Amino acid sequence: MPELLPAYGVLVSVLRRRYTHTYFEPGTCFETVLAHHEFDRALRGLVFSAIEQFEVALRTQFAYHVAHEHGPFGHEKPACFVRTDKHAKLLKRLHSEIDRSSEPFIQHYRQTYDTPGQLPVWMACEVMSFGALSSLFSSLKQRSLRRQIASLFGVDEKILVSFTHHITLVRNICAHHARLWNKTFPIKPVLPKTAADARLVESLHIQAPAKLFNTLVMLDYFLCRIGADTERIWITKIRRLINEHTMIDATVMGFPTDWRRRLAS
């Protein structure tokens, strides 16, 4: 970011002229603030890239299993979901998004097929928001269907439903460039007591359920389960980022003292 350095220099001089240490914690300097900003920006980028892989896998699983169980328009059937009123609101928003879309595959579908008027589930999943996908998944009436969807991820369907709800919030934080690193999440995931790989349970930090550490552990686990990162390159980048930013207090992100061992297992 060489082109931004002159601007940073101007801002530093302005801060030093106009403000006293009364407004900051003792020992605070602009370089410390900038280091935290750069760390958070890099962290958001890494987390968002992992969420992208998780999201694609969940969309694929949802579309595949719903279509096999209830047909290509299973997502449109109120009887397949727990609350028909909530389902109707979700469909209304989805249909509005479809009507506004100019995606070539939607235009081709409309030009080729007269009935039914709505998209099959594998197309609808390409258009619906991640929040809508999370809501539809959690609202499926058949627990066996939710379990089929969760089977790829190696956890119970209740765990996946909870994590999907949580990661929707984390995704929005990353997408809107909000602060992530020391966030206390109001929507925290239910932590699994069992999993296809017991090392997941051993790596989690149950004393800090609303902090980022557990989100990172579960994302790493899911990336491996779906085959998106079998070499665990992503978590290596996370570890490197934290090791390089020595002034960042990892404990406020819910990192335990043995976090390096847990993230390596």
143-148: average pLDDT: 98
Averaging pLDDT over each range in 22-26, 117-121, 125-129, which range is the top one?
Answer: 125-129
Does pLDDT of 13 surpass 90? no
Residue 231: both structure tokens together: 């070499």
Structure tokens, 23: 């407004």
Q: Residue range 157-184: average pLDDT?
A: 97
Checking phi first, is residue 191 left (phi over 0); if not, alpha (psi -120 to 50) or beta?
Answer: beta
Tokens 């909530």 belong to 86
What pLDDT, on a 0 to 100 scale, did the predictor assign at position 215? Answer: 98
Give the mean model confidence (pLDDT) for residues 67-89: 95
- pLDDT over 80 (residue 144): yes
pLDDT at position 28:
77
pLDDT at 226: 97
Alpha-carbon gap, residue 218 to 192, rounded angstroms? 10
Say if residues 183 and 212 touch (Cβ distance below 8 Å).
Answer: yes
Q: In the prediction, which pLDDT does 8 show? A: 59
Listed in sequence order, the residues at least 6 apart from 170 whose beta carbon sits closer than 8 Å to its beta carbon are 47, 51, 180, 185, 215
SS (H, E, C) 190-203: CCCCCCCCHHHHHH
Burial-class residue 109 by CB neighbours within 10 Å (0-12, 13-18, 19+): middle
Q: pLDDT band at residue 30, thresholds of 50, 70 and 90?
A: confident
Q: Which of 14-18, 72-76, 223-227 has the lowest mean pLDDT?
A: 14-18
- For the entire predicted model, the pTM comes to 0.88
pLDDT for 263: 94
Residue type, 82: V
Q: Are 47 and 170 in contact (CB under 8 A)?
A: yes
Computed on alpha carbons and rounded to an integer, the radius of gyration of the chain in Å comes to 22
pLDDT-based confidence at 21, cuts 50/70/90? very low
Mean pLDDT value across residues 183-209? 96
